[in-house]
């Protein structure tokens, strides 16, 4: 397995995985193309804040992805470029799961975020994926609170 940071050459593959992440059936190529155009516009405005890591085996197709959003934090005296990071949209093709690809992607995204100075790396996990994050050192925190949209 090869994990690397994705770039705009990967847009169609990323668009396909993001479509698959919302519905189980293979999306129509036109739907992927239309979404790829939207994703291109969205990402071009966020290249610096949203990084993606992609996994491949021998072939060029992307088998999985993990995004990380870098969030600037309010500065403190002497520390003006503080960052947090949030892991998002982690997805591995169903046929490729259970071989460490998801873990490798999350680890790569987390390590990069920390290298870039992130003080915290968070994730809002799906229920089934919680063990993946726990094995990589993510843990619940009493101090990290969230409020649902309608309390």
List residues binding ligand COA (CB under 6 A): 21, 90-92, 97-103, 123, 125-126, 128-129, 131-132
What is the nearest approach in angstroms of ligand COA to the Cβ of residue 76?
30
For the beta sheet containing 50-56, the strands, ordered from the edge strand earlier in sequence to the opposite edge, are 2-5, 50-56, 64-72, 83-92, 118-123
Cβ-based nearer residue to ligand COA, 85 or 123: 123
What is the nearest approach in angstroms of ligand COA to the Cβ of residue 74?
26
Distance CA 80, CA 61 (A): 40
Cβ-based nearer residue to ligand COA, 128 or 146: 128
Cβ-based nearer residue to ligand COA, 40 or 125: 125
Cβ-based nearer residue to ligand COA, 114 or 136: 136
**Residue, CB closest to ligand COA:** 102
What is the nearest approach in angstroms of ligand COA to the Cβ of residue 21?
6
What is the nearest approach in angstroms of ligand COA to the Cβ of residue 15?
16
Tokens of 2: 């090869």
Tell me the longest C-alpha to C-alpha distance in the chain: 52
Q: What angle do CA 21, 7, 56 make, to 5 degrees?
A: 60
What is the nearest approach in angstroms of ligand COA to the Cβ of residue 73?
22
Cβ-based nearer residue to ligand COA, 82 or 99: 99
């Amino acid at each position: 397995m090869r994990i690397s940071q994705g770039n705009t050459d990967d847009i169609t593959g990323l668009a396909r995985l993001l479509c698959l992440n919302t519905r189980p059936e293979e999306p129509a190529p036109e739907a992927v193309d239309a979404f790829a155009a939207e994703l291109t516009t969205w990402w071009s405005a966020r290249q610096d804040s949203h990084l993606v890591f992609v996994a491949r085996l021998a072939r060029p197709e992307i088998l999985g992805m993990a995004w990380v959003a870098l969030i600037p934090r309010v500065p403190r005296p002497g520390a003006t470029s503080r960052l947090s990071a949030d892991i998002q949209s982690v997805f591995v093709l169903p046929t490729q799961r259970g071989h460490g690809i998801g873990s490798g992607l999350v680890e790569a995204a987390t390590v990069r975020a920390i290298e870039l100075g992130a003080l915290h790396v968070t994730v809002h996990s799906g229920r089934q994926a919680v063990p993946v994050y726990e094995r990589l050192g993510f843990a619940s925190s009493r101090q990290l609170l969230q409020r649902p949209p309608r309390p």
